[in-house]
A and B are shown apart, each in its own frame.
Chain A
Amino acid sequence: MSFLRFAARRVAEMAATLLAASFVVFGALYLAPGNPAGFLLAGRSASPDALAAINAQYHLDEPFAVRYLSWLGDVVQGDFGRSLTYRTDVSRLLADRLPTTLLLIGMALVVVVVVGLLLGRLSAVRGGATDTAVLVGTAFAVGTPSFVAAVLLQGVFAVQLGWFPSSGAGDGLLDEVRHLTLPAIALALYLIGMLARVTRSAMLEALDSEHVTVARSRGVPERQVIRRHVFRNSLGTVLTTGGLIVSTLLVCTVLVETAFSIGGVGQLLELSTSTKDFPTVQAISLIIVALFMSVNLVVDLLLPLVDPRIALGTRSSSA
Protein backbone atom coordinates (compact mmCIF):
# COMPACT_ATOMS: atom_id res chain seq x y z
CA MET A 1 0.00 0.00 0.00
CA SER A 2 1.55 3.27 1.08
CA PHE A 3 4.80 1.53 1.92
CA LEU A 4 4.93 -0.06 -1.52
CA ARG A 5 4.32 3.29 -3.16
CA PHE A 6 7.03 4.84 -1.02
CA ALA A 7 9.42 2.00 -1.93
CA ALA A 8 8.61 2.28 -5.64
CA ARG A 9 9.22 6.02 -5.56
CA ARG A 10 12.57 5.59 -3.81
CA VAL A 11 13.67 2.91 -6.28
CA ALA A 12 12.74 5.14 -9.20
CA GLU A 13 14.60 8.07 -7.66
CA MET A 14 17.65 5.93 -7.15
CA ALA A 15 17.53 4.66 -10.71
CA ALA A 16 17.38 8.25 -11.98
CA THR A 17 20.31 9.36 -9.84
CA LEU A 18 22.29 6.29 -10.84
CA LEU A 19 21.63 7.06 -14.50
CA ALA A 20 22.89 10.60 -13.99
CA ALA A 21 25.93 9.25 -12.15
CA SER A 22 26.72 6.89 -15.00
CA PHE A 23 26.54 9.85 -17.35
CA VAL A 24 29.06 11.72 -15.19
CA VAL A 25 31.37 8.72 -15.12
CA PHE A 26 31.11 8.26 -18.86
CA GLY A 27 31.35 11.96 -19.66
CA ALA A 28 34.50 12.40 -17.55
CA LEU A 29 36.37 10.89 -20.50
CA TYR A 30 35.50 13.92 -22.61
CA LEU A 31 37.03 16.33 -20.08
CA ALA A 32 40.43 15.03 -21.13
CA PRO A 33 42.55 17.27 -23.29
CA GLY A 34 42.86 16.06 -26.88
CA ASN A 35 40.65 13.47 -28.59
CA PRO A 36 39.35 10.48 -26.56
CA ALA A 37 41.12 7.87 -28.65
CA GLY A 38 44.42 9.62 -28.16
CA PHE A 39 43.76 9.92 -24.44
CA LEU A 40 42.75 6.29 -24.08
CA LEU A 41 45.91 5.21 -25.83
CA ALA A 42 48.18 7.67 -24.07
CA GLY A 43 51.62 6.17 -23.66
CA ARG A 44 50.69 2.93 -25.36
CA SER A 45 51.55 1.67 -28.78
CA ALA A 46 48.96 2.95 -31.20
CA SER A 47 48.89 0.08 -33.63
CA PRO A 48 46.05 0.26 -36.15
CA ASP A 49 44.60 -2.84 -34.49
CA ALA A 50 44.51 -1.22 -31.06
CA LEU A 51 43.02 1.94 -32.49
CA ALA A 52 40.32 -0.04 -34.23
CA ALA A 53 39.56 -1.94 -31.02
CA ILE A 54 39.24 1.30 -29.06
CA ASN A 55 37.05 2.82 -31.72
CA ALA A 56 34.84 -0.24 -31.70
CA GLN A 57 34.61 -0.44 -27.92
CA TYR A 58 33.84 3.20 -27.42
CA HIS A 59 31.96 3.62 -30.70
CA LEU A 60 34.13 6.67 -31.19
CA ASP A 61 32.96 7.20 -34.75
CA GLU A 62 29.32 7.43 -33.68
CA PRO A 63 27.48 10.44 -32.20
CA PHE A 64 27.90 11.08 -28.47
CA ALA A 65 24.43 9.88 -27.44
CA VAL A 66 24.85 6.60 -29.31
CA ARG A 67 28.25 6.10 -27.72
CA TYR A 68 26.83 6.67 -24.25
CA LEU A 69 23.83 4.42 -24.76
CA SER A 70 25.81 1.52 -26.14
CA TRP A 71 28.35 1.84 -23.33
CA LEU A 72 25.49 1.88 -20.82
CA GLY A 73 23.92 -1.16 -22.47
CA ASP A 74 27.19 -3.06 -22.07
CA VAL A 75 27.59 -1.98 -18.45
CA VAL A 76 24.10 -3.12 -17.54
CA GLN A 77 25.03 -6.56 -18.91
CA GLY A 78 28.16 -6.57 -16.76
CA ASP A 79 30.52 -5.74 -19.60
CA PHE A 80 32.79 -2.90 -18.52
CA GLY A 81 35.05 -3.12 -21.55
CA ARG A 82 38.69 -4.13 -21.72
CA SER A 83 41.44 -2.91 -19.47
CA LEU A 84 44.09 -1.06 -21.45
CA THR A 85 46.84 -1.98 -19.02
CA TYR A 86 46.07 -5.61 -18.37
CA ARG A 87 44.66 -6.32 -21.82
CA THR A 88 41.82 -8.36 -20.38
CA ASP A 89 38.15 -7.80 -19.57
CA VAL A 90 37.59 -5.39 -16.70
CA SER A 91 34.88 -7.65 -15.31
CA ARG A 92 37.42 -10.50 -15.10
CA LEU A 93 39.88 -8.24 -13.28
CA LEU A 94 37.19 -7.23 -10.83
CA ALA A 95 35.95 -10.75 -10.25
CA ASP A 96 39.49 -11.85 -9.36
CA ARG A 97 39.98 -9.08 -6.88
CA LEU A 98 36.56 -8.60 -5.39
CA PRO A 99 36.61 -11.46 -2.82
CA THR A 100 39.66 -10.05 -1.01
CA THR A 101 38.19 -6.56 -0.92
CA LEU A 102 34.82 -7.81 0.25
CA LEU A 103 36.45 -9.78 3.07
CA LEU A 104 38.44 -6.71 4.07
CA ILE A 105 35.37 -4.48 4.04
CA GLY A 106 33.31 -7.09 5.89
CA MET A 107 35.89 -7.37 8.64
CA ALA A 108 36.16 -3.60 8.94
CA LEU A 109 32.38 -3.25 9.00
CA VAL A 110 32.09 -5.69 11.90
CA VAL A 111 34.77 -3.81 13.84
CA VAL A 112 33.10 -0.46 13.10
CA VAL A 113 29.63 -1.56 14.17
CA VAL A 114 30.68 -3.46 17.29
CA VAL A 115 33.26 -1.02 18.62
CA GLY A 116 31.51 2.14 17.44
CA LEU A 117 28.15 1.28 19.00
CA LEU A 118 29.80 0.07 22.18
CA LEU A 119 31.90 3.19 22.65
CA GLY A 120 29.01 5.51 21.84
CA ARG A 121 26.72 3.73 24.25
CA LEU A 122 29.34 3.67 27.01
CA SER A 123 30.03 7.35 26.54
CA ALA A 124 26.37 8.37 26.69
CA VAL A 125 25.39 6.15 29.60
CA ARG A 126 28.44 6.51 31.81
CA GLY A 127 29.18 10.18 31.19
CA GLY A 128 31.93 11.83 33.23
CA ALA A 129 35.50 10.66 32.70
CA THR A 130 34.46 7.83 30.37
CA ASP A 131 32.65 10.31 28.19
CA THR A 132 35.61 12.66 28.08
CA ALA A 133 37.97 9.81 27.24
CA VAL A 134 35.74 8.61 24.40
CA LEU A 135 35.31 12.15 23.09
CA VAL A 136 39.04 12.82 23.01
CA GLY A 137 39.74 9.37 21.58
CA THR A 138 37.17 9.75 18.82
CA ALA A 139 38.40 13.28 18.05
CA PHE A 140 41.71 11.64 17.12
CA ALA A 141 40.01 8.75 15.34
CA VAL A 142 38.07 11.05 13.02
CA GLY A 143 41.21 13.11 12.43
CA THR A 144 43.30 10.15 11.30
CA PRO A 145 43.13 9.38 7.57
CA SER A 146 43.09 5.64 6.94
CA PHE A 147 46.46 5.66 5.15
CA VAL A 148 48.07 7.26 8.22
CA ALA A 149 46.48 4.62 10.43
CA ALA A 150 47.70 1.97 7.99
CA VAL A 151 51.31 3.16 8.02
CA LEU A 152 51.37 3.57 11.81
CA LEU A 153 49.80 0.15 12.47
CA GLN A 154 52.17 -1.42 9.99
CA GLY A 155 55.18 0.18 11.67
CA VAL A 156 54.17 -0.90 15.17
CA PHE A 157 52.39 -4.25 14.88
CA ALA A 158 53.93 -5.67 11.72
CA VAL A 159 57.50 -4.34 11.64
CA GLN A 160 58.40 -3.65 15.28
CA LEU A 161 56.34 -6.30 17.07
CA GLY A 162 56.02 -8.75 14.20
CA TRP A 163 52.53 -9.87 15.27
CA PHE A 164 50.99 -9.53 11.82
CA PRO A 165 52.31 -9.68 8.27
CA SER A 166 53.10 -6.25 6.86
CA SER A 167 51.78 -6.78 3.35
CA GLY A 168 49.91 -9.08 0.99
CA ALA A 169 46.55 -10.77 1.28
CA GLY A 170 47.53 -14.34 2.21
CA ASP A 171 46.15 -17.68 1.04
CA GLY A 172 43.29 -19.60 2.56
CA LEU A 173 40.64 -18.00 4.75
CA LEU A 174 42.51 -18.12 8.07
CA ASP A 175 45.70 -16.72 6.61
CA GLU A 176 43.70 -14.09 4.78
CA VAL A 177 42.01 -12.99 7.99
CA ARG A 178 45.44 -12.74 9.64
CA HIS A 179 46.76 -10.67 6.75
CA LEU A 180 43.71 -8.44 6.67
CA THR A 181 43.45 -7.74 10.41
CA LEU A 182 45.65 -4.65 10.45
CA PRO A 183 44.20 -3.29 7.19
CA ALA A 184 40.69 -3.78 8.55
CA ILE A 185 41.52 -1.87 11.72
CA ALA A 186 43.13 0.94 9.70
CA LEU A 187 40.03 1.07 7.53
CA ALA A 188 37.71 1.04 10.55
CA LEU A 189 39.39 3.62 12.77
CA TYR A 190 37.85 6.77 11.30
CA LEU A 191 34.40 5.22 11.09
CA ILE A 192 34.58 3.91 14.66
CA GLY A 193 35.06 7.50 15.78
CA MET A 194 32.22 8.72 13.59
CA LEU A 195 29.76 6.00 14.60
CA ALA A 196 30.62 6.35 18.29
CA ARG A 197 29.82 10.04 18.10
CA VAL A 198 26.59 9.57 16.22
CA THR A 199 25.49 6.90 18.68
CA ARG A 200 26.47 9.03 21.63
CA SER A 201 24.58 12.11 20.56
CA ALA A 202 21.52 10.13 19.47
CA MET A 203 21.45 8.36 22.82
CA LEU A 204 21.93 11.59 24.76
CA GLU A 205 18.96 13.02 22.89
CA ALA A 206 16.89 9.95 23.72
CA LEU A 207 18.01 10.07 27.37
CA ASP A 208 16.58 13.58 27.61
CA SER A 209 13.10 12.53 26.65
CA GLU A 210 10.22 12.42 29.08
CA HIS A 211 9.35 8.80 28.32
CA VAL A 212 12.67 7.72 29.82
CA THR A 213 11.75 9.41 33.11
CA VAL A 214 8.33 7.79 32.89
CA ALA A 215 9.85 4.35 32.37
CA ARG A 216 12.09 4.88 35.40
CA SER A 217 9.14 6.10 37.45
CA ARG A 218 7.37 2.86 36.68
CA GLY A 219 10.15 0.77 38.13
CA VAL A 220 11.63 -0.45 34.85
CA PRO A 221 15.20 -1.55 35.68
CA GLU A 222 17.83 0.92 34.47
CA ARG A 223 19.49 -1.57 32.10
CA GLN A 224 16.16 -2.14 30.41
CA VAL A 225 15.46 1.58 30.27
CA ILE A 226 18.72 2.05 28.40
CA ARG A 227 18.12 -0.90 26.10
CA ARG A 228 14.42 -0.48 25.35
CA HIS A 229 14.01 3.27 25.46
CA VAL A 230 17.37 4.89 24.85
CA PHE A 231 19.41 2.59 22.61
CA ARG A 232 16.37 1.41 20.68
CA ASN A 233 15.28 4.98 19.99
CA SER A 234 18.71 6.01 18.74
CA LEU A 235 18.91 3.14 16.22
CA GLY A 236 17.12 5.07 13.45
CA THR A 237 19.67 7.86 13.53
CA VAL A 238 22.50 5.35 13.62
CA LEU A 239 21.05 3.48 10.65
CA THR A 240 21.01 6.60 8.48
CA THR A 241 24.82 6.63 8.55
CA GLY A 242 24.85 3.23 6.82
CA GLY A 243 25.34 4.58 3.30
CA LEU A 244 28.13 6.89 4.38
CA ILE A 245 29.86 4.07 6.26
CA VAL A 246 29.82 1.71 3.29
CA SER A 247 30.94 4.31 0.75
CA THR A 248 33.74 5.49 3.06
CA LEU A 249 34.88 1.89 3.50
CA LEU A 250 34.88 1.35 -0.27
CA VAL A 251 36.81 4.51 -1.10
CA CYS A 252 39.32 4.07 1.68
CA THR A 253 40.24 0.59 0.47
CA VAL A 254 42.22 2.48 -2.20
CA LEU A 255 44.49 3.88 0.50
CA VAL A 256 44.65 0.87 2.78
CA GLU A 257 45.16 -1.74 0.05
CA THR A 258 47.89 0.39 -1.44
CA ALA A 259 49.58 0.82 1.94
CA PHE A 260 49.49 -2.92 2.66
CA SER A 261 50.05 -4.04 -0.97
CA ILE A 262 46.82 -6.02 -1.01
CA GLY A 263 45.74 -7.02 -4.50
CA GLY A 264 42.13 -5.97 -4.19
CA VAL A 265 39.81 -3.64 -6.04
CA GLY A 266 41.16 -0.59 -4.18
CA GLN A 267 44.70 -1.23 -5.32
CA LEU A 268 43.37 -1.82 -8.81
CA LEU A 269 41.75 1.61 -8.74
CA GLU A 270 45.03 3.22 -7.68
CA LEU A 271 47.03 1.35 -10.35
CA SER A 272 44.55 2.04 -13.12
CA THR A 273 44.40 5.72 -12.20
CA SER A 274 48.14 6.19 -12.31
CA THR A 275 48.38 4.24 -15.59
CA LYS A 276 45.33 6.06 -17.02
CA ASP A 277 43.52 2.79 -17.59
CA PHE A 278 40.23 4.63 -17.93
CA PRO A 279 37.77 1.73 -18.50
CA THR A 280 38.86 0.18 -15.19
CA VAL A 281 38.54 3.49 -13.32
CA GLN A 282 35.09 3.94 -14.82
CA ALA A 283 33.96 0.50 -13.74
CA ILE A 284 35.17 0.82 -10.16
CA SER A 285 33.77 4.34 -9.79
CA LEU A 286 30.40 3.21 -11.03
CA ILE A 287 30.37 0.24 -8.68
CA ILE A 288 31.23 2.38 -5.67
CA VAL A 289 28.51 4.91 -6.50
CA ALA A 290 25.96 2.18 -7.14
CA LEU A 291 26.78 0.42 -3.86
CA PHE A 292 26.51 3.68 -1.94
CA MET A 293 23.09 4.33 -3.44
CA SER A 294 21.88 0.78 -2.86
CA VAL A 295 22.85 0.91 0.80
CA ASN A 296 21.07 4.23 1.16
CA LEU A 297 18.02 2.74 -0.50
CA VAL A 298 18.05 -0.24 1.85
CA VAL A 299 18.42 2.11 4.82
CA ASP A 300 15.48 4.19 3.62
CA LEU A 301 13.35 1.09 3.24
CA LEU A 302 14.41 -0.25 6.64
CA LEU A 303 13.80 3.00 8.51
CA PRO A 304 10.00 2.64 8.70
CA LEU A 305 10.53 -0.76 10.31
CA VAL A 306 12.90 0.67 12.89
CA ASP A 307 10.99 3.89 13.51
CA PRO A 308 7.19 3.54 13.41
CA ARG A 309 6.86 7.33 13.37
CA ILE A 310 8.21 7.33 9.82
CA ALA A 311 5.85 4.54 8.79
CA LEU A 312 2.96 6.55 10.24
CA GLY A 313 4.10 9.70 8.48
CA THR A 314 4.31 11.62 11.74
CA ARG A 315 7.96 12.19 11.13
CA SER A 316 9.75 12.61 7.82
CA SER A 317 12.52 10.22 6.99
CA SER A 318 14.92 13.03 6.26
CA ALA A 319 14.79 14.24 9.84
Chain B
Amino acid sequence: MTAVLTRRPGLARLRTARSPLHPLCLGLVGLVTAAALLAPWIVPHDPNAVDLGNALAGPSAAHPLGVDAAGRDTLSRLLLGARTSLLGPLGVVLFSTLAGLAIGMAAAWRGGWLDSVLSRSTELVFAFPGMLLAILVVSVHGEGLLAPVIALSLAYLPYVSRLTRSLVLAERARPYVSAYRVQGHSAPQICLRHVLPNIAPVVLAQSAINFGYALMDLAGLSFLGLGVPALTPDWGRMVFDGQTAVQHGYPLSAVLPCVFIVLTVVAFNVVGERWADRVARRDR
Protein backbone atom coordinates (compact mmCIF):
# COMPACT_ATOMS: atom_id res chain seq x y z
CA MET B 1 0.00 0.00 0.00
CA THR B 2 1.44 3.33 -0.95
CA ALA B 3 0.67 6.43 0.99
CA VAL B 4 -0.21 9.50 -0.96
CA LEU B 5 -0.47 12.97 0.48
CA THR B 6 -4.13 13.80 0.81
CA ARG B 7 -4.11 17.31 -0.47
CA ARG B 8 -7.14 19.29 -1.27
CA PRO B 9 -7.86 18.22 -4.81
CA GLY B 10 -7.29 21.72 -6.07
CA LEU B 11 -3.62 21.45 -5.45
CA ALA B 12 -3.04 17.88 -6.45
CA ARG B 13 0.07 17.32 -8.48
CA LEU B 14 0.75 20.98 -8.93
CA ARG B 15 4.19 21.42 -10.38
CA THR B 16 5.67 24.54 -8.90
CA ALA B 17 9.19 23.22 -9.40
CA ARG B 18 10.33 25.76 -11.94
CA SER B 19 7.85 28.42 -10.98
CA PRO B 20 9.31 31.82 -10.15
CA LEU B 21 6.53 32.01 -7.55
CA HIS B 22 8.29 29.83 -5.05
CA PRO B 23 11.21 32.02 -3.86
CA LEU B 24 8.83 34.99 -3.86
CA CYS B 25 6.36 33.13 -1.68
CA LEU B 26 9.07 31.91 0.67
CA GLY B 27 10.15 35.52 1.16
CA LEU B 28 6.56 36.57 1.76
CA VAL B 29 6.02 33.89 4.40
CA GLY B 30 9.16 35.09 6.17
CA LEU B 31 8.06 38.72 5.96
CA VAL B 32 4.56 38.09 7.31
CA THR B 33 5.90 35.93 10.12
CA ALA B 34 8.43 38.61 11.04
CA ALA B 35 5.68 41.25 11.00
CA ALA B 36 3.54 39.10 13.29
CA LEU B 37 6.41 38.54 15.74
CA LEU B 38 7.68 42.11 15.81
CA ALA B 39 4.35 43.93 15.47
CA PRO B 40 4.08 45.35 19.02
CA TRP B 41 7.47 47.03 18.66
CA ILE B 42 7.18 48.37 15.12
CA VAL B 43 3.59 49.68 14.93
CA PRO B 44 3.58 53.46 14.44
CA HIS B 45 0.26 54.04 16.26
CA ASP B 46 -2.07 52.51 18.80
CA PRO B 47 -4.25 50.30 16.56
CA ASN B 48 -7.35 51.22 18.55
CA ALA B 49 -6.75 54.98 18.77
CA VAL B 50 -9.96 56.40 17.34
CA ASP B 51 -9.87 59.73 15.49
CA LEU B 52 -13.31 60.29 14.02
CA GLY B 53 -12.45 63.73 12.66
CA ASN B 54 -9.87 62.10 10.40
CA ALA B 55 -12.05 59.13 9.29
CA LEU B 56 -11.24 57.46 5.96
CA ALA B 57 -8.39 59.87 5.24
CA GLY B 58 -6.05 58.71 2.49
CA PRO B 59 -2.33 57.96 2.93
CA SER B 60 -0.33 60.67 4.61
CA ALA B 61 3.05 61.02 6.32
CA ALA B 62 1.50 60.15 9.69
CA HIS B 63 -0.63 57.33 8.30
CA PRO B 64 1.22 55.80 5.28
CA LEU B 65 -1.68 53.45 4.47
CA GLY B 66 -4.48 55.76 5.53
CA VAL B 67 -7.03 55.28 8.30
CA ASP B 68 -10.33 53.40 8.53
CA ALA B 69 -13.87 54.61 9.10
CA ALA B 70 -13.15 55.14 12.79
CA GLY B 71 -9.91 56.96 12.07
CA ARG B 72 -7.70 54.07 13.21
CA ASP B 73 -4.28 53.68 11.54
CA THR B 74 -4.51 50.96 8.86
CA LEU B 75 -0.80 50.08 8.86
CA SER B 76 -0.77 49.48 12.60
CA ARG B 77 -3.90 47.35 12.40
CA LEU B 78 -2.47 45.34 9.50
CA LEU B 79 0.76 44.63 11.36
CA LEU B 80 -0.93 43.66 14.61
CA GLY B 81 -3.61 41.87 12.60
CA ALA B 82 -0.90 39.56 11.28
CA ARG B 83 -0.59 38.24 14.83
CA THR B 84 -4.22 37.14 15.26
CA SER B 85 -4.53 36.15 11.62
CA LEU B 86 -1.55 33.78 11.87
CA LEU B 87 -2.05 32.68 15.47
CA GLY B 88 -5.47 31.15 14.74
CA PRO B 89 -4.33 28.94 11.85
CA LEU B 90 -1.22 28.04 13.85
CA GLY B 91 -3.44 26.77 16.63
CA VAL B 92 -5.59 24.81 14.16
CA VAL B 93 -2.55 23.23 12.54
CA LEU B 94 -0.93 22.39 15.89
CA PHE B 95 -4.03 20.79 17.38
CA SER B 96 -4.99 18.90 14.22
CA THR B 97 -1.45 17.66 13.60
CA LEU B 98 -0.88 16.35 17.13
CA ALA B 99 -4.30 14.79 17.48
CA GLY B 100 -4.26 13.50 13.90
CA LEU B 101 -0.87 11.84 14.44
CA ALA B 102 -2.04 10.18 17.62
CA ILE B 103 -5.32 8.96 16.15
CA GLY B 104 -3.81 7.85 12.84
CA MET B 105 -1.07 5.92 14.60
CA ALA B 106 -3.46 4.26 17.00
CA ALA B 107 -5.79 3.27 14.16
CA ALA B 108 -3.02 1.84 12.03
CA TRP B 109 -1.16 0.09 14.84
CA ARG B 110 -4.06 -1.44 16.69
CA GLY B 111 -6.32 -2.05 13.70
CA GLY B 112 -9.52 -3.97 14.40
CA TRP B 113 -12.52 -2.26 15.95
CA LEU B 114 -10.53 0.83 16.90
CA ASP B 115 -9.54 1.33 13.27
CA SER B 116 -13.08 0.93 11.98
CA VAL B 117 -14.55 3.22 14.63
CA LEU B 118 -11.96 5.87 13.82
CA SER B 119 -12.47 5.49 10.06
CA ARG B 120 -16.24 5.89 10.48
CA SER B 121 -15.80 9.04 12.57
CA THR B 122 -13.42 10.39 9.96
CA GLU B 123 -16.11 9.98 7.34
CA LEU B 124 -18.58 11.77 9.59
CA VAL B 125 -16.28 14.72 10.14
CA PHE B 126 -15.60 14.96 6.39
CA ALA B 127 -19.32 15.56 5.90
CA PHE B 128 -19.08 18.82 7.86
CA PRO B 129 -17.20 21.54 5.98
CA GLY B 130 -14.77 23.21 8.42
CA MET B 131 -16.52 26.53 8.24
CA LEU B 132 -19.90 24.96 9.04
CA LEU B 133 -18.54 23.12 12.05
CA ALA B 134 -17.04 26.39 13.29
CA ILE B 135 -20.36 28.21 12.81
CA LEU B 136 -22.19 25.48 14.67
CA VAL B 137 -19.80 25.75 17.61
CA VAL B 138 -19.89 29.55 17.60
CA SER B 139 -23.68 29.51 17.63
CA VAL B 140 -23.50 27.55 20.87
CA HIS B 141 -20.44 29.04 22.47
CA GLY B 142 -20.57 32.61 21.28
CA GLU B 143 -17.89 34.63 19.52
CA GLY B 144 -14.20 34.38 20.23
CA LEU B 145 -11.09 32.82 18.77
CA LEU B 146 -10.83 29.65 20.83
CA ALA B 147 -14.11 27.96 19.87
CA PRO B 148 -13.61 28.31 16.08
CA VAL B 149 -9.99 27.19 16.39
CA ILE B 150 -11.08 24.01 18.18
CA ALA B 151 -13.88 23.41 15.66
CA LEU B 152 -11.52 23.85 12.71
CA SER B 153 -8.91 21.63 14.36
CA LEU B 154 -11.55 18.95 14.51
CA ALA B 155 -12.51 19.55 10.88
CA TYR B 156 -8.89 19.36 9.68
CA LEU B 157 -7.96 16.43 11.86
CA PRO B 158 -9.18 13.72 9.42
CA TYR B 159 -6.85 14.99 6.70
CA VAL B 160 -3.92 14.37 9.03
CA SER B 161 -5.17 11.18 10.65
CA ARG B 162 -6.03 9.51 7.36
CA LEU B 163 -2.61 10.34 5.95
CA THR B 164 -0.87 9.18 9.13
CA ARG B 165 -2.81 5.94 9.13
CA SER B 166 -1.79 4.99 5.61
CA LEU B 167 1.82 6.04 6.24
CA VAL B 168 2.05 4.02 9.43
CA LEU B 169 0.50 0.98 7.73
CA ALA B 170 3.17 1.18 5.04
CA GLU B 171 5.90 1.73 7.60
CA ARG B 172 4.75 -1.12 9.84
CA ALA B 173 5.14 -3.57 6.98
CA ARG B 174 8.83 -2.73 6.66
CA PRO B 175 11.32 -5.24 8.03
CA TYR B 176 13.01 -2.92 10.51
CA VAL B 177 9.83 -2.75 12.58
CA SER B 178 9.66 -6.51 13.08
CA ALA B 179 13.38 -6.47 13.83
CA TYR B 180 12.80 -4.04 16.70
CA ARG B 181 9.84 -6.09 17.89
CA VAL B 182 11.90 -9.24 18.00
CA GLN B 183 14.42 -7.35 20.11
CA GLY B 184 11.67 -6.66 22.60
CA HIS B 185 11.00 -2.98 21.96
CA SER B 186 7.47 -1.97 22.92
CA ALA B 187 4.99 -0.68 20.36
CA PRO B 188 4.88 2.90 21.67
CA GLN B 189 8.67 2.94 21.75
CA ILE B 190 8.94 1.84 18.12
CA CYS B 191 6.21 4.29 17.10
CA LEU B 192 7.73 7.31 18.74
CA ARG B 193 11.41 6.67 18.16
CA HIS B 194 11.43 5.09 14.71
CA VAL B 195 8.14 5.38 12.86
CA LEU B 196 7.34 8.99 13.79
CA PRO B 197 10.60 10.48 12.49
CA ASN B 198 10.13 8.61 9.22
CA ILE B 199 6.61 9.84 8.54
CA ALA B 200 6.95 13.33 10.06
CA PRO B 201 8.07 15.18 6.90
CA VAL B 202 5.05 14.01 4.90
CA VAL B 203 2.60 14.82 7.70
CA LEU B 204 4.15 18.25 8.25
CA ALA B 205 3.87 19.01 4.54
CA GLN B 206 0.16 18.22 4.79
CA SER B 207 -0.12 20.52 7.80
CA ALA B 208 1.62 23.32 5.94
CA ILE B 209 -1.02 23.02 3.24
CA ASN B 210 -3.77 23.03 5.88
CA PHE B 211 -2.41 26.29 7.28
CA GLY B 212 -3.50 28.35 4.28
CA TYR B 213 -6.99 26.86 4.34
CA ALA B 214 -7.39 27.43 8.08
CA LEU B 215 -6.36 31.05 7.57
CA MET B 216 -9.07 31.44 4.92
CA ASP B 217 -11.73 29.86 7.14
CA LEU B 218 -10.85 31.92 10.20
CA ALA B 219 -10.67 35.15 8.22
CA GLY B 220 -14.12 34.30 6.86
CA LEU B 221 -15.49 33.84 10.39
CA SER B 222 -14.01 37.17 11.45
CA PHE B 223 -15.57 38.75 8.40
CA LEU B 224 -18.93 37.45 9.58
CA GLY B 225 -18.26 38.97 12.98
CA LEU B 226 -18.18 35.49 14.49
CA GLY B 227 -14.42 35.20 15.03
CA VAL B 228 -12.23 37.51 17.03
CA PRO B 229 -13.81 40.08 19.36
CA ALA B 230 -14.70 43.43 17.83
CA LEU B 231 -11.69 45.52 18.83
CA THR B 232 -8.95 42.98 18.13
CA PRO B 233 -7.06 43.89 14.97
CA ASP B 234 -7.54 41.03 12.51
CA TRP B 235 -7.49 40.99 8.71
CA GLY B 236 -10.89 39.36 8.27
CA ARG B 237 -12.39 41.72 10.84
CA MET B 238 -10.81 44.69 9.02
CA VAL B 239 -12.52 43.68 5.78
CA PHE B 240 -15.80 43.49 7.71
CA ASP B 241 -15.19 46.93 9.27
CA GLY B 242 -14.17 48.47 5.95
CA GLN B 243 -16.93 47.03 3.79
CA THR B 244 -19.36 49.90 4.34
CA ALA B 245 -16.62 52.33 3.36
CA VAL B 246 -16.09 50.35 0.13
CA GLN B 247 -19.73 50.87 -0.77
CA HIS B 248 -19.24 54.61 -0.27
CA GLY B 249 -16.21 54.69 -2.53
CA TYR B 250 -13.40 54.51 0.06
CA PRO B 251 -11.97 51.05 -0.62
CA LEU B 252 -8.48 51.37 0.87
CA SER B 253 -9.14 50.23 4.45
CA ALA B 254 -10.87 47.03 3.25
CA VAL B 255 -8.81 46.30 0.14
CA LEU B 256 -5.48 46.29 1.99
CA PRO B 257 -6.39 43.48 4.40
CA CYS B 258 -7.89 41.64 1.40
CA VAL B 259 -4.55 41.84 -0.37
CA PHE B 260 -2.74 40.67 2.77
CA ILE B 261 -5.05 37.70 3.15
CA VAL B 262 -4.70 36.60 -0.47
CA LEU B 263 -0.93 37.03 -0.59
CA THR B 264 -0.42 35.18 2.69
CA VAL B 265 -2.68 32.26 1.74
CA VAL B 266 -1.09 31.97 -1.72
CA ALA B 267 2.38 32.13 -0.19
CA PHE B 268 1.66 29.41 2.38
CA ASN B 269 -0.05 27.24 -0.24
CA VAL B 270 2.78 27.48 -2.74
CA VAL B 271 5.44 26.85 -0.10
CA GLY B 272 3.50 23.95 1.40
CA GLU B 273 2.84 22.41 -2.01
CA ARG B 274 6.46 22.70 -3.00
CA TRP B 275 7.46 21.05 0.23
CA ALA B 276 4.93 18.26 -0.27
CA ASP B 277 6.20 17.69 -3.81
CA ARG B 278 9.77 17.44 -2.55
CA VAL B 279 8.88 15.01 0.19
CA ALA B 280 6.84 12.92 -2.23
CA ARG B 281 9.71 12.78 -4.70
CA ARG B 282 12.25 11.85 -2.04
CA ASP B 283 10.05 9.01 -0.90
CA ARG B 284 9.99 7.42 -4.31
Contacts and interface: CB of A to CB of B under 8 A. Distances in A.
B245 to A, nearest CB: 10
Contacts of B225: 274
B247 A167 contact: yes
Given A132-B19, A198-B10, 8 more contacts: A17-B124, A28-B136, A135-B16, A142-B10, A151-B243, A159-B251, A241-B9, A254-B131
A154 interface: yes
Band of interface residues on B? 35 or more
A29 B137 CA distance: 9
B262 to A, nearest CB: 5
Q: Is the interface of A mostly helix, strand, loop or mixed?
A: helix
Contacts of A25: 136
Contacts of A205: 13
B10 A289 contact: no
B261 interface: yes
Contacts of A29: 140
A18 B11 CA distance: 28
B269 interface: yes
B5 interface: no
B132 A251 contact: yes
B127 interface: yes
Secondary structure call for the B interface: helix
B62 to A, nearest CB: 25
A31 interface: yes
B37 interface: no
Interface string B19-40: 1010000000000000000000
Query: Closest 9 interchain pairs by CB?
Result: A194-B10, A143-B266, A143-B265, A201-B13, A273-B139, A155-B251, A281-B139, A145-B216, A148-B258
Of the four ranges (under 10, 10 to 19, 20 to 34, 35 or more), the interface on chain A belongs to: 35 or more
12 contacts: A17-B124, A20-B120, A20-B124, A138-B10, A145-B216, A145-B220, A145-B223, A151-B255, A159-B249, A258-B224, A270-B224, A276-B142
A151 B15 CA distance: 30
B129 A143 contact: no
